[in-house]
Chain A
């Protein structure tokens, strides 16, 4: 298989690079796809209803696990919860702020964590790690962004990005 052919294929696939895609978040950029389908929304009612349902979910899991996920405290019940040192917890349970930062840097080894870690019930805010991570790609191409990340996050993502000569 000639490398010539291979490169042609690569060019064809990248005919519409992601950077040229519609970026509806950019000021002044609004594609026809950005539209409200079913008219005005009563956000107050919507929020109240969603809150109530999430509260019900939280209550259900609180009872199920006898653990208050909102306050991060254990309760009396079926399970006996005990704190474990961060150093013995597998990597994936440790809090990661932007996806790739090593937890050794972000969490002091002595700080105890409750095991298992909370599965992310209602306390999730707009600053969740997931969003920071995914927003990063956009941000690199924008001059000014409302969401500024930390330097560590930036470095981390750069390491994640595939390099043109990563494989020899």
Chain B
């Protein structure tokens, strides 16, 4: 026992997380998460009704950059979707200029990292990542502004919060849990970069990611409960959603995945494929390619 503890403790540089507490994976907690999540879902199509200067393509550019920063700094998985949540919620209420978007993105990452990480990203480092186009004082001021506009309500629910609840309920083959979880996390990050999922509830993104992972790994072979139909029904049941709605979301995730894989397989000189390439190499270097579509 002592030896085991020493081994874990010597792993100084990796972020340390608590063991999963079964009590926190109960149905009551899941129901609370489901009841709370709507409060944090960005409620409007802000490119249409709030923003004048911002275009959907700019969100893709900024989100890709944010993911790259989070990956390079090896932030914990929740940081990126959480930062995107702050960004989207802020953009729902404040018309922002293009030249201010990267500053906003950096402030969102700073806040998300502080909320979720033991060793958060520093403001200085984020300034460097903007190639010094953002000054430290601007970042700190912006942080305060974001806090105010979001009413200091930062403990938003992300798709990651649902993941363990869902995985626990599935009859996954022994030894596959880690792989499925890893794939799911990649898909959740992928969804956060894509504009189509802005107002999609996190529970639905989580369910869609789980099905995409399970089928991508072809785990349904020999386990009838994991086949497309029963799996969707079970997840819809767990999250109290409509199975058709869920299916729609799954299809969008699979489409997104297919597109990003196509880009990585045929790298083009444009910036976007490079960005998606980054997602692939940064999150899970080989996993995404293992998915058979």
A86-126 contacts to B, CB under 8 A, are: 120-122, 124, 126
Does A142 interact with chain B (Cβ within 8 Å)? no
Does B27 interact with chain A (Cβ within 8 Å)? no
Does A13 interact with chain B (Cβ within 8 Å)? yes
Task: Report whether B74 and A18 are in contact in the complex, using a CB–CB cutoff of 8 Å.
Answer: yes
A141-168 interface bits toward B, Cβ cutoff 8 Å, 1 = contact, 0 = none: 0000000000000000000011111111
Does B119 interact with chain A (Cβ within 8 Å)? yes
Stretch at the interface among B125-133, B162-170, B233-241: B125-133
Task: Report whether A36 and B130 are in contact in the complex, using a CB–CB cutoff of 8 Å.
Answer: yes
Stretch at the interface among B40-48, B93-101, B179-187: B93-101
A35-91 contacts to B, CB under 8 A, are: 35-43, 46-47, 50-51, 53-54, 57
Stretch at the interface among B65-73, B80-88, B210-218: B65-73
Does B24 interact with chain A (Cβ within 8 Å)? no
Does B197 interact with chain A (Cβ within 8 Å)? no
The answer for the CA separation of A33 and B137 in the assembled complex, in Å, is 21
B129-154 contacts to A, CB under 8 A, are: 129-138, 140-142, 144-145, 148
Task: Report whether B73 and A21 are in contact in the complex, using a CB–CB cutoff of 8 Å.
Answer: yes
B250-261 interface bits toward A, Cβ cutoff 8 Å, 1 = contact, 0 = none: 000000000000
Task: Report whether B133 and A36 are in contact in the complex, using a CB–CB cutoff of 8 Å.
Answer: yes
Does B10 interact with chain A (Cβ within 8 Å)? yes
Which of these, B9, B98, B123, B142, contacts A164 with CB under 8 Å? B9
Task: Report whether A41 and B74 are in contact in the complex, using a CB–CB cutoff of 8 Å.
Answer: no
Task: Report whether A35 and B65 are in contact in the complex, using a CB–CB cutoff of 8 Å.
Answer: yes
Does B35 interact with chain A (Cβ within 8 Å)? no
Whether A6 contacts B4 in the complex (CB less than 8 A), given A18-B13, A50-B141, A50-B142, comes out as yes
Listed in ascending order, the chain B residues whose CB lies under 8 Å from chain A are 2-14, 16, 58, 61-62, 65, 68-69, 72-74, 98-103, 114, 119-125, 128-138, 140-142, 144-145, 148
User: 5 tightest A-B contacts by CB?
Assistant: A17-B13, A36-B133, A3-B3, A18-B13, A50-B141
